[in-house]
Amino acid sequence: MKFSSRLCTLNVGGRRFCFPADLMKRLPLSRLSRLHRCGSESELLELCDDYDRDRNEFFFDRHSEAFSFIMLYVQHGKLRFVPHMCELSFYNEMLYWGLESSDLQPCCQRRLDDCLSDCFVHFFPEEEQRDPEEPQSNWLEYMRRTFEEPTSSLMAQILASVSVVFVVISIFMLCASTLPDWKTAETVDQHRIIEAVCIGWFTAECVVRFLVSRDKCEFVRRPLNIIDLLAIMPYYVSVTMTMLTGENSQLQRAGVTLRVLRMLRIFWVIKLARHFLGLQTLGLTLRRCYREMMMLLVFICVAMAIFSALAQLLEHGLDLETGNQDYASIPAACWWVIISMTTVGYGDMYPVTVAGRVLGGLCVLSGIVLLALPITFIYHSFVQCYHELKVRSARCNHSHSLSAELVN
């Protein structure tokens, strides 16, 4: 839809905000950026409360002061709560405009998390309302929800359960195929049949989900879908190589490439993340806490470089002939540093000199301190992600139940 002028006016709670039309497209507020993709005035009214074509003015019956703070975040990149305003109310305004709790400053995130935990109240962005007559609500949309949202209907739960059963069977067969008793000709043939059935199910599921997806490019870019392809493709590659090289060829007897491809099927276990909230929480936490994870890695690398060099010097470098040969090099000492900092202590190598043992004690204590520093941030993010996914799933189930009642 083409707007009548280059200048757009947002009337939020009686307060006007003027923006160039091109700037609104680039704002990190999903509700405003979607205005330019509307094809008719009726679609505009789904995103705003009213629209004046003559003045090119959009009306939003929302909190004007909260929107002012959100615009400050757009300009300066820092978002904090409005003074003397309820945290939950401001969070609701954030979600309306397309922001998440992760956009808040850490201090405000803690306040919001405490408030959500105390009140057990969660808000999530309003879903776009669809007309039952639109194509998105026909059988294609039903198929998409059935395969993408395991809790949307009884059929979706049945398909999710069948998929979990196939994942468990495939993982069990992959593990059992490495046992000596399972390498007879009869068991190998049975294993191939079961494996082919499981791969057939996974392939059909992936193809159907691709066909009914709204955005094919977005479907290909999703991490879980990439993992599905990584889990399925090795089977077809190995079957193709077997057909081309033969069962008794030198390449088949060596089997290095095929064994590597076969082990890649362990990625099937990650498919369980589609059906279990805990795995989804873990993945979302790792994605949000990659900075903390990198910081933890830097801590370990710095400490490993220092303690390994000192351990090699104290245990071996001062006496090259009778020194501890386990610490003959710094890379060898790095292994001792890792198992000491993580308090694992396999006992395969240990210091024998007094100075080396003192250094080992310092290494263990520093490992406890360094590993504990980023854990607080990671734990806070994990709790927040778990609450978000749990209540979002509950809200999704509630919306699906209401849609089913309306249809009936």
User: What is the average pLDDT across 124-134?
Assistant: 45
d(CA 99, CA 389): 16
User: What is the average pLDDT across 388-395?
Assistant: 70
Query: Does 206 score more than 50 pLDDT?
Result: yes
Query: Does 37 score more than 60 pLDDT?
Result: yes
Query: What percentage of the chain carries pLDDT values higher than 70?
Result: 81
Query: How many Cα atoms within 13 Å fall on the side-chain side of residue 286?
Result: 6
Check residue 396 and give its pLDDT.
Answer: 61
Query: What percentage of the chain carries pLDDT values higher than 90?
Result: 7
Banded pLDDT at 53 (limits 50, 70, 90): confident
Check residue 50 and give its pLDDT.
Answer: 86
Banded pLDDT at 128 (limits 50, 70, 90): very low
Architecture per CATH, 149-275: Up-down Bundle (1.20)
Check residue 131 and give its pLDDT.
Answer: 47
Least confident of 252-266, 296-310, 392-406: 392-406
Query: Does 250 score more than 70 pLDDT?
Result: no
Query: Does 135 score more than 50 pLDDT?
Result: no
**Between 247 and 166, whose confidence is greater?**
166
Q: Is 60 exposed, middle or buried (0-12, 13-18, 19+ CB in 10 A)?
A: buried
Check residue 285 and give its pLDDT.
Answer: 84
User: What is the average pLDDT across 136-150?
Assistant: 73
Check residue 123 and give its pLDDT.
Answer: 46
Check residue 132 and give its pLDDT.
Answer: 44
Check residue 365 and give its pLDDT.
Answer: 93
Query: Does 342 score more than 70 pLDDT?
Result: yes
Check residue 129 and give its pLDDT.
Answer: 44
CATH dotted code for 280-378: 1.10.287.70
Contact predicate 322/360, CB 8 Å: no
Check residue 278 and give its pLDDT.
Answer: 78
Query: Does 133 score more than 50 pLDDT?
Result: no
Phi, psi for 405 (deg, rounded to 5): -65, -40
pTM, rounded to two decimals: 0.53
User: How far from 300 is each of 198, 286, 307, CA to CA, in Å?
Assistant: 41, 18, 10
Kindly report the average pLDDT of the chain as a whole number.
Answer: 78
User: What is the average pLDDT across 33-47?
Assistant: 78
Q: 355-369, pLDDT tens digit by residue? A: 889 999 999 999 999
Query: Does 91 score more than 80 pLDDT?
Result: yes
Long-range contacts of 296-301 (CB under 8 A, 24+ apart): 296/370, 296/371, 296/373, 296/374, 299/370, 299/371, 299/373, 299/374, 300/338, 300/341, 300/370, 300/371
Domain ranges for the chain, please list them. 7-123, 149-275, 280-378
Q: 281-308, pLDDT tens digit by residue? A: 888 888 888 888 888 889 899 999 999 9
Specify the residue for token string 């059906």. Answer: 275
Banded pLDDT at 336 (limits 50, 70, 90): very high
Check residue 359 and give its pLDDT.
Answer: 92
Check residue 127 and give its pLDDT.
Answer: 44
**Between 406 and 139, whose confidence is greater?**
139
Rg over alpha carbons for the chain, rounded to the nearest Å, is 29
Architecture per CATH, 7-123: 2-Layer Sandwich (3.30)
d(CA 101, CA 117): 14
Banded pLDDT at 134 (limits 50, 70, 90): very low
User: What is the average pLDDT across 158-178?
Assistant: 84
* Selection from 121-135, 372-386, 393-407 with the highest mean pLDDT: 372-386
